[in-house]
Structure 1
Amino acid sequence: MRNVDAVDARILLALDADPQATTVALADRLGLARNTVQSRLRRLEESGHLKEPSRRVDPAALGYPLLALITLSISQRVGEPTREGILRIPEVVELLVTTGDADLLARVVARDTTDLHRITNHLLEVPGVVRSNTTIVLMELQPLSVRPLLQRHTGPDARRGPVTPEGAARAAPSGARNVTTRQANAQPADTTGSGPGTHSVSLDT
């Protein structure tokens, strides 16, 4: 599977800032060809790097403002049927296999504590679930976000914001800036016999 590269990260950051941006708008903003943006987004979706839009929905908007983390110990003799039974409970929005005393960590949403009690009882009724331990989340300080990782992935230029034509000119390669400086400071030299307006410039590599 192809990993996300620096160009992919720039596209994703721009899309994160403006989810409704068109391919043309993203291409103009980033100084990329439209076909490049289109093909890279399609490849990211087909590879599974971009998850489904439903992951962006806040459960509170659906009437589930309460979040709980429930660890579950299961009988290893049951295994997969137990996990399938757990995932049939709609309020279990994420299920992770963990190390430690418990076997699974379930991210559960609920309408209130009474509803959470109901969901917990449903979990304990699943064949193979031995015991559970529930932690209620009081406040979400930092929702899941990979934006800082994408910014790091693009390199130091990522924190400078979207690329504009003016910014692209300022970000020209250092060799090009050296050429401009030397041309500006060079003394006219008639090296070809074509007149005083001709001068030579050495290039740094």
Structure 2
Amino acid sequence: MNTIDDIDRRILRELQRDSATPLEELGTRIGLSRNACWRRIKALEAAGVIDRRVALLNPGTLDLGLMVYIQLRTSAHEPGWLEKFSRATNAMPEIMGVYRMTGDLDYLIRARVPDMAGYDRLYQRLIARVPLSDVSASFVMEEIKDTHELPL
């Protein structure tokens, strides 16, 4: 797939909002037949534009009401440390995102936990698995905007 046209963008916007939209309804919204929509979606999947389709869950209903951003600094920057860090963070289901950063931080972690005690348990497990120089956390008090939709 070389280029994404306006129709593909419209399909992608709709799928980002609700990937379970029936093809008939999607076709009506886009102005294409059901089969034309299906062919375009399959082409977008084959090209890797659509990575996967998931269900977004409400964390508050699952006792995961506290989102925390954990800022990390480390004095270790060798490949072995990074491999160990990657294995440790990937093994912790509370950790939803790990990002290597520029600037003062080395890494930023986004996690969901039930409460402060849940954060402390996560923190204790993390520092037991990987040596860190500095760890600080910021807790989300209010989610004003949280989306997975890319700006198309």
- Does the TM-score normalized on the shorter chain lie above 0.5? yes
Asked if 1:92 corresponds to 2:95, the answer is yes
Measured against aligned partners, the alpha-carbon deviations of 1:56-93 in whole angstroms (never above 9, x if no partner) come to 22332322010000011232121122122122111001
Higher relative contact order (Cα pairs below 8 Å, separated by 6+ residues): 2
Contact 1:73 1:131 in 2 (8 A): yes
1:111 is matched with which residue: 105, 114, 117? 114
> Is contact 1:69-1:108 (8 Å) kept?
yes
Q: Which has the higher helix share?
A: 1
Structure 1 unaligned blocks of 5 or more: 151-205
Unaligned segments of structure 2, at least 5 residues: none
Instruction: Tell which structure's C-alpha radius of gyration is larger.
Output: 1
Counterpart of 1:23 in structure 2 is: 23
- Aligned equivalents of 2:4 and 2:131: distance in 1? 39
Q: RMSD of aligned C-alpha atoms? A: 2.3
Task: Tell me the number of residue pairs that the alignment of Structure 1 and Structure 2 aligns.
Answer: 149
CA 1:15–1:83 in structure 2 vs 1: closer, same or farther (change >3 Å)?
A: closer
Matched, 1:139 2:150: no
Per-residue deviation, residues 105-160 of structure 1 (Å, max 9, x unmatched): 1101110111111111212122243321100010110112436x23xxxxxxxxxx
Give the TM-score taking structure 1 as reference length.
0.63
Determine the structure 2 residue equivalent to 1:39.
Answer: 39
How far 1:42 moved relative to its partner?
Answer: 1.8
Distance 2:133 2:17 in 1: 44
TM-score (norm 2): 0.82
